[in-house]
Structure 1
Amino acid sequence: MAISGAEEQFDYRILRLTDMTEEPMKFLAPIGGYQDMPLVSLEQAVEPLTSLLPAVQNYAYLVKQRCDKPADGLTPDESAAIMLYSMGWKPLDQCLFVALNAALRSADRRNLKPWFLFLKLFLTALYRLPSISRYTVYRGVKLNLNERYKKEKTVMWWGFSSCTTSIELLQSEHIVGKTGPRTIFCIECNSGKDIRKHSYDPSENEILLLPGTQFKVVGCLNPDSNLHTIQLQEIQPPVTILQHPFRLDHLQTKPVA
């Protein structure tokens, strides 16, 4: 079994921070059905995915071995589900994150059915982590996306959205850089999940936004002709877009210090 190396992880990190270009930019049917599935082990949760991701069982086994005593009160299977999401392998288009987000962004909700067991485990883990509020995180891409994000527009990101707490990281040459057309998103989030303690690479300082997160474009700045800075504010949709994996009575929201 080939183990995901530093180069694969770096390429995968870039992909997760920049994949907003794949968003359909339209409203789709809500995400549900998975919440009625049983909570199973990671090995069982990825079984329906083997036809889509031939190597997924190998990597599920690998991350499970690294989650003996997970933080935040998560079970080893819950922590391993987060780690599997954050792990990259080649070919990148057969990584779990890429295929999962493609299904979440599909207008045909039947494409989500093979993912129901994994979504149940993964989202249970994420909902058990405290949400961070009133905190700014960043994403970006080496493209001009200004036309898609006009001020006062309401948009929804249907995939899992990986963000960084470091704008300096985002501006590194391998991600957005400092020359050529580029767009930086400054996102005020209220429900982000800090997954660092469960990430395959804890140094990534990753904040994860859940599928179906809605934003209002509150500002568009152009410091120069090639740099477009878009300010997004997370807002609460009037209807439930992502069904909760379990009852939320005991969950907490906390600001990040």
Structure 2
Amino acid sequence: METELFYVPERFFDAHQELLQKLPSIEDYGKKPLVTLEKALEPLRPLIDNFEILPWTAKSIMRQPTYDLNYDEAGAIYLYTIWRSKEDQTIPSQLNKALRSGERNRLNAWSSYLHLLVVALNKLPSMRGTIWRYGRGDVTNNYQKDCIWLGFSSCVGPMSNVTNQGKDSVYTVFEIKCINGKAICNYSEFPQDDEVILMPGTRLRVMRKEDLTTRLKKIYLQEDENQLLAKPSAWSLPIDITYRTEQDFKMTIMQPNGEIKSLQSSSKCFGIEQDVLDNIFDY
């Protein structure tokens, strides 16, 4: 079987950074008028390298957006996924740190981009299914009953970015039954990641936990119906749309030597059986 190596973004492994606190009030972001992607990024100029070319690059690539997204909205999603040589300079890293901080002065610079990104994501149909997210270390003690994830949560769909941990690494795998996931592979720099985003303020119920190995822990979560982030009705679409596909998916496996291997597989709907997951992890 043909394989290839590619980069797995850190945003899929940041669940351990969630503080599980109440989302600070950020409703004011939606009161501002929508602006172009260029104007939305202007307050972020000190934070973003290559500021001048990023909007042009994103909008040039997103030439045929679907679901009534315009170029600025599609570009906002694309920029969220764009690769940077330094992980702490990526848009998701900096935006999610601001959201999780609860400090309004840190959020102010992001308000226009946040508005554009939320509008874009809410135009996409919501999906129900099983998705996965990862955290570094054992964080099972932090999850007892209910929790709230404050940032944009980058998750993966079936047969994509499932990891085989190295000998000295400890990870927590979150298996999530979602009802409002936003599949963004058509707007991503890395469509093979099969990325699904959960919105800021997503409420989750802890269903059960288990120790798969001494290095691998697992938490089963169920998304609640209620979301904390304001969703003006003009932005919203019905949430009970089941995502199904006949397309091929790629599975990426992190080898003990640190390499990441991509394997081609096929799935007909969002969801993966436990025996398949067991075969992927090398216990």
What CA distance in whole angstroms lies between the structure 2 residues aligned with 1:248 and 1:42? 18
Q: 1:198 aligns with which of 155, 171, 187?
A: 187
What CA distance in whole angstroms lies between the structure 2 residues aligned with 1:141 and 1:83? 23
Name 1:221's counterpart in structure 2. Answer: 210
What CA distance in whole angstroms lies between the structure 2 residues aligned with 1:23 and 1:214? 12
Give the AA of the match of 2:139: L
Unaligned ranges ≥5, structure 1 = 1-5
Name 1:147's counterpart in structure 2. Answer: 141
The answer to whether the 8 Å contact 1:35/1:246 transfers is no
User: CA 1:250–1:17 in 2, change beyond 3 Å: closer, same or farther?
Assistant: closer
Displacement of 1:179 after TM fit? 6.8
Q: 1:108 aligns with which of 103, 106, 113?
A: 103
User: Residue 27 of structure 2 aligns to a residue in which SS?
Assistant: coil
TM-score normalized by the length of structure 2:
0.78
What CA distance in whole angstroms lies between the structure 2 residues aligned with 1:252 and 1:182? 31
Displacement of 1:30 after TM fit? 3.0
Displacement of 1:249 after TM fit? 6.2
User: Residue 122 of structure 1 aligns to a residue in which SS?
Assistant: helix
Displacement of 1:51 after TM fit? 1.7
Q: What CA deviation, in whole Å up to 9, does each residue of 1:65-119 have, x standing for no partner?
A: 1112212321111111100001121222111111100111112123111111111
Name 2:259's counterpart in structure 1. Answer: none
Displacement of 1:142 after TM fit? 4.0
Name 1:80's counterpart in structure 2. Answer: 75
CA RMSD between the two structures? 2.2
Q: 1:207 aligns with which of 196, 200, 209?
A: 196
The answer to whether the 8 Å contact 1:70/1:79 transfers is yes
Q: Is residue 10 of structure 1 aligned with residue 7 of structure 2?
A: yes
Give the AA of the match of 1:22: Q
Give the AA of the match of 1:217: V
The answer to whether the 8 Å contact 1:213/1:234 transfers is yes
The answer to whether the 8 Å contact 2:185/2:194 transfers is yes
User: CA 1:252–1:233 in 2, change beyond 3 Å: closer, same or farther?
Assistant: closer
The ranges of structure 1 where at least 4 consecutive aligned residues each deviate by more than 6 angstroms after the TM superposition are none
Alignment of 1:116-135 (within 5 A): 116-133=111-128, 135=129
Give the AA of the match of 2:27: G
Unaligned ranges ≥5, structure 2 = 245-283
Displacement of 1:185 after TM fit? 0.5
Number of residue pairs aligned between Structure 1 and Structure 2: 241
User: CA 1:249–1:72 in 2, change beyond 3 Å: closer, same or farther?
Assistant: closer
More helix by share: 1
TM-score normalized by the length of structure 1:
0.86
Q: What CA deviation, in whole Å up to 9, does each residue of 1:6-33 have, x standing for no partner?
A: 99x715x2x1111112112222423311
User: Residue 132 of structure 2 aligns to a residue in which SS?
Assistant: strand
What CA distance in whole angstroms lies between the structure 1 residues aligned with 2:133 and 2:116? 26
Alignment of 1:15-26 (within 5 A): 15-26=10-21
Name 2:60's counterpart in structure 1. Answer: 65
User: CA 1:201–1:36 in 2, change beyond 3 Å: closer, same or farther?
Assistant: same
User: CA 1:177–1:126 in 2, change beyond 3 Å: closer, same or farther?
Assistant: farther
Give the AA of the match of 1:116: S
Name 1:30's counterpart in structure 2. Answer: 25
Q: What CA deviation, in whole Å up to 9, does each residue of 1:194-233 have, x standing for no partner?
A: 1011111212111111111011111101133332110011
User: CA 1:252–1:184 in 2, change beyond 3 Å: closer, same or farther?
Assistant: closer
User: Residue 191 of structure 1 aligns to a residue in which SS?
Assistant: strand
User: CA 1:201–1:226 in 2, change beyond 3 Å: closer, same or farther?
Assistant: closer
More deviation, 182-191/62-71: 62-71
What CA distance in whole angstroms lies between the structure 2 residues aligned with 1:179 and 1:167? 24
User: CA 1:235–1:252 in 2, change beyond 3 Å: closer, same or farther?
Assistant: closer
What CA distance in whole angstroms lies between the structure 1 residues aligned with 2:182 and 2:166? 26
Displacement of 1:248 after TM fit? 4.7
